[in-house]
Amino acid sequence: MNADPFMPLFVLLSSLVPSLVIFGLSDRQAGLRRWLYLGAEVVKLLLVVVMAERAAAGAVYEFSVPLLPGAELVLRAGPLALLFLVLSAGLWLLTTIYANGYMAGTPHQSRFYGFFGLCVTATAGVAMAGNLLTFFFFYELLTLVTYPLVVHTQSEAALRAGRTYLRYAIAGGTALLAGVIWLYVLAGAVPFTEGGALAAAGLGEQRAALTAIFVLLILGLGVKSALVPLHGWLPAAMVAPAPVSALLHAVAVVKAGAFGVLRVVYEVFGVSLAQELGVLGPLAVAAAITILYGSWMALQQDELKKRLAYSTVSQLAYITLGVSIAGAEATAGGIVHLVHHGVMKITLFFCAGVIAKTLGLTRISELDGVARRLPATMVAFSVAALGMMGLPPLAGFVTKWYLGLGAAENGELWPLAVLVLSTVLNAAYFLPIIYRAWFKAPPGPFTEKLPPSRFETRWVLLLPPLVTASLTVLVGLLATTELGALQWVSVIAERELPYAPEDIIP
């Protein structure tokens, strides 16, 4: 079906242009800035929703311009890209509402919102990239525009975290570039293709080179998706303001890495070629180690945001695990976790931000009885945490169910053991927080950091986590209906992957 080729470009411009304009506004023009920004977000959300609806009916949006000889900048919005786009556009809107409350009264807000918007722009580019060059282009852009957000407070700790982030990200980007160029020399621009672009290229005798390229690409992508041992930057980046952590963990940076792994395995190499090269087994092992190590490290942390960060390390590897265990169910479990983890983790970070901003508490050991003061916040937190553990019918359950099903179908039992062990660890690091907050008595009166308001905190801080917590319930409950992410994944499976939708939702 013919679709407007400029739509993908408009999606980029809808966040790029307002962000650039905002750099020019001073903090005195906060009102104008707010409305410009929110307007841009609503436009972007509408654009991607309209595109998703038409894509469901079979439309494919493609826009391309020549960038280098033989290599075009291709933006292509198929179902997989739109899954990521809808997620990022929706959560961007919620995060901005939240940021309006969180950042109020702090300096350099224009810079903050400007780079925040650029970060979302780069994410949209990563989502829509139609070949490896374009993917690399936006992936590196993402590194650059996230750096100012990580060091936003310009404190000693923030600068240190920024340095760590850059070291990892630029080294990773270099490995990725080497892989991309080597592959370009072997096989040309490598458009992302259903079933794998290389499967048809007849590179049978290049096994060693292809394996090396796969390793380089995964090294590069593994940094952003925090695959152990390339994860070191993620816990350090926790010094960023809460809205940044929320977006970084839910959609932008880490998901860009996981999304790249998905593209490389399914649409560059293709499952059959990757299996033939024998690279998926080691990738699955790396993912399993990351799942367990991340959970284990989360358990050791007393700082709430750090615990959440290690939890991200662990949860992201579910996506990689799903990708590397071939088969329709495991794949569905991996892809759907992009969305499920997004809504759950953003809720948790929103809540952590509310607690820090309202009561000045950042450590888990200080959270005794905090639910008495912030009941609604802690309801949202608890829902998301239980979802992370995989309690049915919440979002995380759907993921784990499909991952387990996929592993069992393949006759591999060790991933099941990893899933069970990780669920136990998830419970071990989330339940104590819930227990403390709800069942322990507060050690004394809380120190209020914000002026009293009608609700338990500023409504702009409270609304976003409540919305995302509700989504955690809804995407789980409605998983197999038209509105669920899983349903959309079956569309992806049909359109972009070598699977039939019936294999996912019978």
Partner 1 sequence: MTPVDASLWPFDLIIWPIVLPLIGATLSFVLPRLAVPLGVSTAFVTLLSVAALLLEVWAVGAESYALGGWAAPLGIALYADGLSVVMLLMAGAVGALISVYAAGYFKLGALDIAIFWPLWLFLWAALNAIFLSNDIFNLYVGLELMGISAVGLVVVAGGRTAVVAGTRYLLVSLIGSLAYLLGVALLYGAFGTLDLDTLAASITPVPAAWAAVALITVGMALKTALFPLHFWLPPTHASAPAPVSALLSGLVAKASFYLLLRLWFSVFPAALTPAVVHLIGLLGAFGILWGSALALRQSRLKLLIAYSTVAQIGYLFVLFPLAGPNGWGSEAWSGGVIQAFSHAFAKAAMFLSAGTLAYAVGDDGIESLGGVTKHLPLSVVAFGLAGVSLIGLPPSGGFTAKWLLLLAAFGTGQWWHALAILVGSLLAAGYVFRVVQVALSGGQGRAARLTPRRLEVASLTLALIALLLGFASAPLLQLLSIGVPA
What string marks each residue from 125 to 154 as x (binds partner 1 by CB under 8 A) or -? -----------xx--xx-xx------x--x
Residue 67 is a binding residue for partner 1 (CB under 8 A): yes
Beta bridge partners of 129: 75
Q: Tell me how far, at minimum, the Cβ of 159 lies from partner 1, in Å.
A: 5
CA distances from 93 to 90, 346, 464 (A): 5, 12, 9
Residue 163 is a binding residue for partner 1 (CB under 8 A): yes
Spatial CA neighbour of 286 closest among 230, 332, 369: 230
Q: Which stretch binds partner 1 (CB under 8 A): 32-40, 164-172, 289-297, 428-436?
A: 164-172
Whether omega for the bond prior to residue 393 falls within 30 degrees of 0, making it cis, is yes
Structure tokens at 389: 């553990």
Q: Tell me how far, at minimum, the Cβ of 137 lies from partner 1, in Å.
A: 4
Give the separation between CA 322 and CA 404, rounded to whole angstroms.
9
Spatial CA neighbour of 343 closest among 175, 236, 230, 467: 467
Q: Cα 151 to chain center, whole Å?
A: 20
Nearer to partner 1 by Cβ, of 75 and 83: the residue is 75
Give the separation between CA 158 and CA 148, rounded to whole angstroms.
10
Residue 203 is a binding residue for partner 1 (CB under 8 A): no
Q: Tell me how far, at minimum, the Cβ of 115 lies from partner 1, in Å.
A: 12
Nearer to partner 1 by Cβ, of 72 and 329: the residue is 72
DSSP track, 76-89: EE-HHHHHHHHHHH
Q: Tell me how far, at minimum, the Cβ of 107 lies from partner 1, in Å.
A: 10
Residue by residue, what is the 3-state secondary structure of 49-66?
HHHHHHHHCCCCEEEEEE
| Binder among 2, 28, 31, 69 for partner 1 (CB under 8 A) | 69
Residue 60 is a binding residue for partner 1 (CB under 8 A): no
Give the separation between CA 327 and CA 307, rounded to whole angstroms.
32
Neighbour-count burial of 481, counting CB atoms closer than 10 A to its CB (0-12 exposed, 13-18 middle, 19+ buried) = exposed
Q: Tell me how far, at minimum, the Cβ of 82 lies from partner 1, in Å.
A: 24
Q: Tell me how far, at minimum, the Cβ of 113 lies from partner 1, in Å.
A: 16
Nearer to partner 1 by Cβ, of 162 and 322: the residue is 162
Residue 174 is a binding residue for partner 1 (CB under 8 A): yes
| Binder among 2, 24, 57, 156 for partner 1 (CB under 8 A) | 156
Phi, psi of 228 (to 5 degrees): -60, 135
Residue 181 is a binding residue for partner 1 (CB under 8 A): yes
Note whether 150 and 165 are within 8 A (CB).
Answer: yes
Hey, which residues between 388 and 407 contact partner 1 (CB under 8 A)?
none
Spatial CA neighbour of 51 closest among 114, 8, 94: 8
Note whether 150 and 237 are within 8 A (CB).
Answer: yes
Residue 105 is a binding residue for partner 1 (CB under 8 A): no
| Binder among 184, 214, 259, 430 for partner 1 (CB under 8 A) | 184
Residue 43 is a binding residue for partner 1 (CB under 8 A): no
Residue 66 is a binding residue for partner 1 (CB under 8 A): yes
- What lies within 8 Å, CB to CB, of 164 at 6+ separation is 232, 233, 236, 237
Nearer to partner 1 by Cβ, of 178 and 428: the residue is 178
Residue 445 is a binding residue for partner 1 (CB under 8 A): no
Number of residues that bind partner 1 (CB under 8 A): 28
Q: Tell me how far, at minimum, the Cβ of 154 lies from partner 1, in Å.
A: 5
Nearer to partner 1 by Cβ, of 136 and 350: the residue is 136
| Binder among 177, 215, 421, 478 for partner 1 (CB under 8 A) | 177
Q: Which stretch binds partner 1 (CB under 8 A): 2-10, 46-54, 159-167, 226-234?
A: 159-167
Q: Tell me how far, at minimum, the Cβ of 9 lies from partner 1, in Å.
A: 13
| Binder among 38, 59, 159, 289 for partner 1 (CB under 8 A) | 159
Note whether 472 and 383 are within 8 A (CB).
Answer: yes
Nearer to partner 1 by Cβ, of 71 and 254: the residue is 71
| Binder among 8, 90, 130, 162 for partner 1 (CB under 8 A) | 162
Which residue reads 């994944």 in tokens?
A: 489
Give the separation between CA 403 and CA 281, rounded to whole angstroms.
15
Residue 178 is a binding residue for partner 1 (CB under 8 A): yes
Which residue reads 């000693």 in tokens?
A: 156
Question: Sign of torsion, CA 489 284 397 96?
Answer: negative
Q: How many CA atoms lie within 13 A of 183 on its CB side?
A: 29
Q: Tell me how far, at minimum, the Cβ of 183 lies from partner 1, in Å.
A: 9
| Binder among 101, 173, 222, 406 for partner 1 (CB under 8 A) | 173
Q: Where are the alpha helices (DSSP H) in 194-303?
A: 207-224, 233-236, 242-250, 253-262, 271-277, 280-300
Q: Tell me how far, at minimum, the Cβ of 276 lies from partner 1, in Å.
A: 23
- Interacting residues with partner 1 (CB under 8 A): 66-69, 71, 136-137, 140-141, 143-144, 151, 154, 156, 159, 162-163, 166, 170-171, 173-174, 177-178, 181-182, 184-185
